[in-house]
Amino acid sequence: MSAVRLQGRSRHPHHDAPETAGDFERLARLGPGPEADELRERLVAAWLPMAHRLARKFRNRGESLEDLEQVAALGLFKAVDRYDPAAGSAFESFAIPTITGELKRHFRDHTWDVHVPRRVQELRNRVRTAIATLSSSLGRSPTVAQLAEECGLCEEDVQLGMDALGSYRSLSLDAPIGDGDDGYALLDCVGSTDPGFDLVLSREAVKPHLHSLPERERQILYLRFFSGWTQSRIAAHLGLSQMHVSRLISGTCERLRRDVESDRQPELSLAAA
């Protein structure tokens, strides 16, 4: 009786919708096993054109149609698995909200370049819709107060939704800014760490210990690291062998390193405490 009711109660709104009421009733009677799996796959294949049709409604939103069709197919599989023909509704009526919900969840959870809480995403959608509506009627961009009145939100929530408008898609660092020969990339505006800051810290840490060095060692370090002299040139200038100059540089640098580290030990101990 139920099969007759399902078959005869209505025609599907799309002419290509398959008649699968009997297969769904058979699937409901089958227990887990290969036969049920094969029938489920056949039902998914039969209704796949409908899933792809729903996916196409979400195109032009930054996602490829192929990805959207895969998401819709996943939603279709869930609908086939959960559908109960005894509930009395046609499969298409049950499947469309399931597939559409899967597509909307995909956009909500997987397509944002910056993670945004669900509440903020919903505020963004309400504010975006209100901006489009008011801009059309006012002929200009609406104010925050006007958006708050249109959305039924407080101005703080409107501002939060507006801040999220730019979070859906990030801008490539190679994106051009400006036109013609004066144009430049966004990457050109991004700052970088100046290694000179670390150098200043190192110099300040070692400066007190340099004064305690013998005159000859100070002179060698100055010529090597500040004047850029080679070891052989320093050796000729001071009347020493290059090997001797090399040993003096290595030994002096090691001594300075130990002295600086010993100065930092109290600071490290205080930080640990």
CB-CB contact of 20 with 35 (8 Å):
no
Per-residue pLDDT of 237-271, as tens digits, reads 999 999 999 999 999 999 888 888 887 765 545 45
Give residue 126's pLDDT: 87
Question: For residue 261, what are the CA distances in angstroms to 64, 208, 245, 247, 264?
Answer: 57, 13, 24, 21, 5
Which DSSP category does 212 fall into? T
What span, in angstroms and rounded, lies between the C-alpha atoms of 245 and 224?
10
Residue 1: pLDDT band with limits 50, 70, 90:
very low
E strands in 118-248: 176-177, 184-185
Q: Which two tokens stand for residue 49?
A: 């054109």
Q: Is residue 117 scored above 50 in pLDDT? A: yes
In the chain, the percentage of residues whose pLDDT exceeds 90 is 15
Banded pLDDT at 272 (limits 50, 70, 90) = low
Separation CA 147–CA 125 (nearest Å): 12
pLDDT digits (tens, 9 = 90+) for 26-52: 888 877 888 888 888 888 899 999 899
Domains and their CATH numbers in the chain = 2-110 (1.10.1740.10), 114-169 (1.10.10.10), 195-272 (1.10.10.10)
Give pLDDT, residue 8. Answer: 38
Say if residues 259 and 209 touch (Cβ distance below 8 Å). Answer: yes
Residues 118-167 pLDDT 10s? 787 788 778 888 888 888 888 888 898 998 888 898 988 888 888 777 66
- b/e burial code for range 165-192 (CB count within 10 A of at least 16 → b): eeebeeeeeeeeeeeeeeeeeeeeeeee
How far apart are the C-alpha atoms of 272 and 263, rounded to whole Å?
15
pLDDT of residue 109 exceeding 80? no
Please tell me the distance from the alpha carbon of residue 130 to that of residue 148, in angstroms, as a whole number.
Answer: 9
pTM value surpassing 0.75: no
Average pLDDT, the chain: 79
Beta strands, E only, the chain: 176-177, 184-185
Return d(Cα 245, Cα 220) in angstroms, integer: 8
In angstroms, how far apart are the furthest CA atoms of the chain?
A: 114
Q: What is the pLDDT of residues 203-240, one digit of tens each?
A: 888 888 888 889 999 999 999 988 999 999 999 999 99
Number of other CB atoms surrounding residue 85 within 10 Å: 22
pLDDT of residue 239: 92
For residue 84, the SS3 value is coil
Q: Identify the pLDDT of residue 244.
A: 93
